C-alpha cells in the first residue's frame, strides 16, 4: 500500500514476521471455525424446515401430529457439548497465541525507540553511550531472524505502529510508553502505515521496515553512527542550510545544526524516501519538498522557507552530501 511500491504489499495474511505469523494463524483458525459453524447451522435450519414441512403434509393426510422425541439429544449435543469443545479450543489457541507473543524467544538484538509525530516517524537506536545513539526517520532497519525490542511513544497525538506483514498494531500514546517486539523471518522491505487516524496527513505517514542479514544491519548501524561526512570548512551549501533556517528544526550530527522538530538529516541520503515515506528521495523531490512542502503535503510541519535562488542549488548539493 505504500506509495513507493518497492517493498512488499502490506498484507496482513502474508507471514513474514514471527508474531504476525502466529496472529495470522489464529485469524485463519477463527475464520475457518466461524465458517464451519455458520454452514452447519444453516444446513440444520434448512433440514428442520424441510422435515417440518413433510411432517405437516403427512399429518394432514393421516390427521396425526406426533413430533419426534430426539429434541433433547439435539440440545445436549448441538447446544452444549459441541459449543463447549469449539469454544474451549478457541480459548486455548487464543491464550497460547497471547503467551507466544508476550516475549521473544531470546534477548532482543536491538532496542529501537520510535516516536510518532504528525506525520512522520522518529527512530532511535538505543545502545551504549548517548553519543553512540543513532537517530533516523521513517525507515527502520532490523536484522533478519532476530527479535527486536520496540519502545513506542508519541510527541503529539495517538499514532499506531503497523507493519502488517510483520506484526499486529501497537499504539503510540502521548505521555505513555508502550513496548513490544518484532522479528522478521525473511529479508525484504516491508511497507508500514500509521494505523490510527492522527490528523489531516494520517494517510501520508508511511514507514518501511528493512530486514537485512545481521552483518549488513551491523554495517548500516555503524555507518549511521558516524557524524555527517561534511568537510571541516563550512561550504556555501552548508551556509545556505543555516541561513535559510533549516537548522532550527533539523539536526545534522557533527555540525551545529541541532533542531529537534523535524527529522534528523545526518544521513539523509541513505534513506530511500522523504516526507514521511511519501516521496522517493531524489534531487527533484528534495527540491520540490524544500520549496513547496505545503503543496505536496498540506498541513505538514515543514514550512516553506525563503531560500535565495542562487543558494538553492547549493543547498540541494549540501543535502546530497549527507550520505
Binding site for ligand CUA (CB under 6 A): 116, 119, 159, 194, 196-198, 202, 205
Residue 219: all three cell numbers together:
554495517
Least separation in angstroms between CB 195 and ligand CUA: 7
CB of 205 vs ligand CUA, minimal distance in Å: 4
Handedness of CA 292, 294, 297, 301 (dihedral sign): positive
Greatest distance between any 2 Cα atoms in the chain:
109
176 versus 323: smaller Cβ distance to ligand CUA: 176
Taking the complex as a whole, how short is the minimal distance between the CB of residue 219 and ligand CUA, in angstroms?
31
Nearer to ligand CUA, 237 or 276 (CB): 276
Q: Smallest distance, Å, CB 123 to ligand CUA?
A: 14
In the complex, the smallest distance separating the C-beta of residue 197 from ligand CUA, rounded to whole angstroms, is 6
Alpha-carbon gap, residue 297 to 276, rounded angstroms: 10
Q: Which is nearer to ligand CUA, 199 or 258 (CB)?
A: 199
Residues 132/137/138/139 CA torsion (nearest 10 deg): -40
Give, in order, the Cα–Cα distances in Å from 38 to each of 32, 33, 35, 45, 73: 10, 9, 5, 11, 20
Query: How many Å apart are CA 280 and CA 236, to the nearest integer?
Result: 26
Nearer to ligand CUA, 113 or 225 (CB): 113
- CB closer to ligand CUA, 101 vs 138: 138
SS3 call for 314? helix
Amino acid at each position: 500500500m505504500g506509495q513507493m511500491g518497492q517493498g512488499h504489499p502490506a498484507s496482513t495474511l502474508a507471514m513474514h514476521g514471527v508474531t504476525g505469523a502466529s496472529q495470522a494463524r489464529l485469524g485463519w483458525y477463527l475464520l475457518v471455525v466461524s465458517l464451519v459453524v455458520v454452514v452447519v447451522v444453516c444446513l440444520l435450519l434448512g433440514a428442520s424446515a424441510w422435515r417440518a414441512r413433510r411432517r405437516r403434509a403427512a399429518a394432514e393426510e393421516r390427521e396425526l401430529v406426533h413430533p419426534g422425541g430426539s429434541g433433547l439429544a439435539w440440545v445436549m449435543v448441538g447446544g452444549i457439548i459441541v459449543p463447549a469443545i469449539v469454544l474451549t479450543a478457541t480459548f486455548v489457541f487464543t491464550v497460547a497465541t497471547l503467551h507466544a507473543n508476550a516475549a521473544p524467544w531470546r534477548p532482543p538484538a536491538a532496542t529501537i525507540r520510535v516516536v510518532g509525530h504528525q506525520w512522520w516517524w522518529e527512530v532511535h537506536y538505543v545502545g551504549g553511550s548517548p553519543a553512540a545513539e543513532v537517530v533516523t526517520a521513517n525507515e527502520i532497519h532490523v536484522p533478519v531472524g532476530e527479535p527486536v525490542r520496540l519502545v513506542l511513544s508519541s510527541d503529539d497525538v495517538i499514532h499506531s505502529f503497523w507493519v502488517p506483514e510483520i506484526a499486529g498494531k501497537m499504539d503510540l500514546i502521548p505521555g505513555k510508553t508502550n513496548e513490544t517486539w518484532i522479528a522478521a523471518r525473511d529479508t525484504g522491505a516491508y511497507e508500514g502505515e500509521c494505523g490510527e487516524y492522527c490528523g489531516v496527513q494520517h494517510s501520508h505517514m508511511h514507514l518501511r521496515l528493512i530486514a537485512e542479514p545481521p552483518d549488513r544491519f551491523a554495517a548500516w548501524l555503524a555507518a549511521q553512527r558516524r557524524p555527517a561526512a561534511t568537510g571541516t570548512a563550512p561550504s556555501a551549501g552548508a551556509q545556505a542550510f543555516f541561513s535559510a533556517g533549516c537548522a532550527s528544526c533539523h539536526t545534522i550530527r557533527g555540525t551545529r545544526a541541532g533542531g529537534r522538530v523535524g527529522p534528523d538529516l545526518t544521513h539523509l541520503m541513505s534513506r530511500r524516501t522523504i516526507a514521511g515515506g511519501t516521496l522517493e528521495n531524489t534531487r527533484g523531490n528534495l527540491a520540490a519538498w524544500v520549496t513547496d512542502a505545503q503543496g505536496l503535503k498540506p498541513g505538514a510541519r515543514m514550512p516553506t522557507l525563503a531560500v535565495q535562488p542562487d543558494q538553492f542549488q547549493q543547498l540541494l548539493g549540501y543535502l546530497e552530501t549527507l550520505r
